[in-house]
A = this chain, B = another copy of it.
Amino acid sequence: MGVIVPLQDGKTEPRASIEPLVRLASGDMARVNELILDRAGSDVGMIPEVARHLIDSGGKRLRPMLTIAAAGMCGYTGSGHIKLAASVEFMHTATLLHDDVVDESDMRRGKAAARLVWGNQASVLVGDFLLGQAFKMMVEVGSLGALDILSNAAAVIAEGEVMQLAAAKNTATTEDEYLAVISAKTAALFSAAAEVGPTIAERDRAERAAFRSYGTNLGLAFQLVDDALDYGGSAAELGKQVGDDFREGKITLPVVLSYRRGSDEDRAFWKKVIVDSAIEDGDLEKAVVLMRRHNAIDDTIERARHYGGVARDALAPFPDSDYRAALLEAVDFCINRAH
Q: Does A3 contact B (CB under 8 A)?
A: yes
A10 interface contact, C-beta 8 A: yes
A interface residue numbers (CB < 8 A to B): 1-6, 8-10, 170, 172-177, 206, 209-210, 212-213, 216-217, 256-257, 259-264, 267, 294-295, 299, 302-303, 306, 309-310, 313-314, 316-317
Q: CB distance B1 to A264 under 8 Å?
A: yes
Q: 20 interchain pairs (CB within 8 A)?
A: A2-B263, A3-B261, A6-B261, A6-B294, A6-B299, A9-B302, A10-B299, A10-B302, A172-B210, A174-B212, A175-B310, A176-B213, A176-B216, A176-B217, A176-B314, A260-B313, A260-B316, A260-B317, A261-B316, A303-B310
Query: Which residues of B are found within 8 Å of A267, using beta-carbon distances?
Result: 1, 317
B259 touches A209 (CB 8 A): no
User: Chain A interface secondary structure, helix, strand, loop or mixed?
Assistant: helix
Report chain B residues within 8 Å CB of A257.
313
By a CB distance below 8 angstroms, the chain B residues around A264 are 1
A3 CA / B5 CA spacing, docked (Å) = 40
The complex places the Cα of A1 from the Cα of B295 at a distance, in Å, of 19
Name the B residues within 8 Å of A260 (CB-CB): 313-314, 316-317
Instruction: Find A306's partner among B8, B212, B295, B306 (CB 8 Å cutoff).
Output: B306
Cα distance A334–B256 when bound, in Å? 24
Residue of B nearest to A260 (CB): B316
Decide if B4 touches A176 in the complex (CB within 8 Å).
no
Contacts of A310 in B (CB 8 A): 175-176, 303
A261 to B9, CA, bound (A): 15
What distance in Å separates the Cβ of A198 from its nearest Cβ neighbour in chain B?
13
Neighbour of A3 across the interface among B2, B213, B263, CB < 8 A:
B263
Complex CA gap A206/B176 in Å reads 12
Among residues of B, the one whose C-beta sits closest to the C-beta of A257 is B313
A295 to B177, CA, bound (A): 31
- Name the CB-closest residue of B to A1: B264
Q: Is the CB of B209 within 8 A of A174?
A: yes
Q: By the criterion CB–CB under 8 Å, are A175 and B261 in contact?
A: no
